[in-house]
Structure 1
């Protein structure tokens, strides 16, 4: 599981995360070490309470480990102040959530470019146009979230995550609120983003079919990475998850 060469976009080194103190403390992560290669799609799976979300939050700089190190490229997140960490997340990390997290009063275009506006930067018109085309939003760019389907809203969220050209995009159950057909469309789009743009993508999911779109699937149990698979089929993922109790 250890892969600390220079091609890793994100590295976790002996990361432990405990909640609470004393005898009531609970370890969500137990000495996790893993490197996630740049330009690849990684899915994280495991039973409820296995540490999936905590791993994602620590890797993305949303939560600090109790011990260990998290590196984005060569940047050690543990050494950064909260203000610098906030800027890093805004500039170098993209997020796609199950609940879309769009601003209702803003149009699709305004939602996509919001991270740049918050950073005081102008949008690259060519890049914005490219993202709009890639995500199939050309006919919806002036619409607000309430005027769009769930799949269209998630496409806006994906474009928003990519607008800053981030080092890594993290997805937390990005197809969890979508119907099966729409979810597959979104997964195809995420796969295309990795294949054509070289984007690094890390996704927590409970869906074996979703995981089958990834280059690598990491399986967690009791706060530790217990197995991994390269480009597995959905049936293989489901069988392994069943043995973990997921």
Structure 2
């Protein structure tokens, strides 16, 4: 992979609307994430988490600043080039799985290769399905699988092209605690064993405790960060982030 950093954001701002009605979702994000790292992004509702993920992953363009992925500046990239880059060098895992019900597990996993115009690599597909514990489910359809198994398929699909970065948006949001832990184990293993870089937005301190580093967003800015920390420590940090405003509001009243 070219470049010293997997993800770089420099002065990234995102504004929706104009004039007095403008909403400043991101207010100047500066961030570098090394390859082979697992970063969790947390923050109160409306803090800019989703916008951050969309700008970092090239799904939305920042109003100002630059975004680099694996050393490639994607900020001004033409849409067709950006689409090709997303299909080959990025992986995505969403809360809603986003599998195609009419395709088999194997066909869902090779989809990024097909969309990128590459011949599906059956050996690689078998490898990632084994990695997520679904080697025997390749011919099944998503509707025949549990929620946890469907999210495993989504992870296999995200990893199949050996992407520079995997972006995960609330990947455990629809899962029970035990299944969530299994999914987080897979993401952690992708980082530790296979050198993947994972950036995960989550509202769950337990999920965030699996990451090497937790970034806290507030009002579109990085308000704080913690290195590998227990869930209780992360939860306390989240509480501290949201408390001052409440306390101020009570005093003002």
Where does structure 2 lack aligned partners over 5 or more consecutive residues?
A: 244-253
Structure 1: any 5+ residue segments left out of the alignment? 1-5
Counterpart of 1:111 in structure 2 is: 108
Q: Confirm or deny that 1:67 pairs with 2:64.
A: yes
* 2:75 aligned residue: 78
Q: Does 1:188 align with 2:205?
A: no
> Residue in 2 aligned with 1:58?
55
Q: Does 1:143 align with 2:143?
A: no
**Alignment partners' CA distance in 2, 1:82 and 1:129:** 31
Residues 86-145 of structure 1, C-alpha deviation per residue, up to 9 Å, x if partnerless? Answer: 111111111000000000000000000011111221233332222111101012111101
Larger Rg: 2
1:11 aligns with 2:8: yes
Following superposition, the deviation at residue 184 of structure 1 comes to 0.6
1:39-73: CA deviation from partner (whole Å, max 9, x where unpaired) = 00000000000000100000000000000000112
**2:4·2:71 contact (CA, 8 Å) conserved in 1?**
no
Q: Show the counterpart of 1:125.
A: 122
Partner of 2:241: 244
Structure 2 match to 1:96:
93
Counterpart Cα distance in 2 of 1:149 and 1:33: 39
The SS at the match of 1:79 is: coil
Q: Residue 167 of structure 1 corresponds to which residue in structure 2?
A: 164
Shift >6 Å, 4+ stretches? none
What is the aligned partner in structure 2 of residue 232 from structure 1? 229
TM-score (norm 2): 0.93
Q: What is the alpha-carbon distance in structure 2 between the residues aligned to residue 57 and residue 30 of structure 1?
A: 15
Shift of 1:151: 0.4
> What do the CA deviations read for 1:161-185 (whole angstroms, capped 9, x no partner)?
1111110000000000011110111
SS at match of 2:68: strand
- Give the SS at the match of 1:156: helix
Q: What TM-score does the superposition give when structure 1 sets the normalisation length?
A: 0.96
- Of residues 129-138 and 216-225 in structure 1, the stretch that sits farther from structure 2 once superposed is 129-138
Matched position secondary structure for 1:84: helix
Please give the alpha-carbon distance, in whole angstroms, between the structure 2 residues aligned to 1:175 and 1:112: 19
1:244 deviates by 1.2
- The whole-number CA distance in structure 2 between the counterparts of 1:126 and 1:141 is 12
